[in-house]
Amino acid sequence: AQSVSQHNHHVILSEAASLELGCNYSYGGTVNLFWYVQYPGQHLQLLLKYFSGDPLVKGIKGFEAEFIKSKFSFNLRKPSVQWSDTAEYFCAVNAGEYGNKLVFGAGTILRVKS
């Protein structure tokens, strides 16, 4: 069955701490990978995406993610978080073998303490 796993449902960090949110998927073939962010009361916005090429992808607001094919992972990172990064983060995968669906992880709620 298709699945996308996000390891932590809640993360609490202090400002300036480093962030890494885990994402693993269970598809064996070609995948397109995404991280979306949902700020409180707002709709989802794309942070970054990976289709091919350099496995280290840089997105908006200082976020980056690394695709490690051998580990089926696409972890999101930020060296120094800010209070304004408080949001819910979703990993999503489009796997060619499953056609035109986009499968989301359960989300990770990040709270940054000022």
Which residue among 84, 106, 111, 113 contacts another protein (CB under 8 A)? 106
Which residue among 85, 90, 110, 112 contacts another protein (CB under 8 A)? 90
Interface map 16-55 toward another protein (x if CB under 8 A): ----------------x-x-------xxxxx--x-x----
Quick one: three-class SS letters along 31-59?
Answer: EEEEEEEECCCCCCEEEEEECCCCCEEEC
Find tokens 């990040």 and name the residue: 110
Residue 82, C-beta contacts closer than 8 angstroms, at least 6 positions apart: 15, 112
Q: Where does this chain bind another protein (CB under 8 A)?
A: 4, 6, 9, 32, 34, 42-46, 49, 51, 90, 92, 94, 96, 99-107
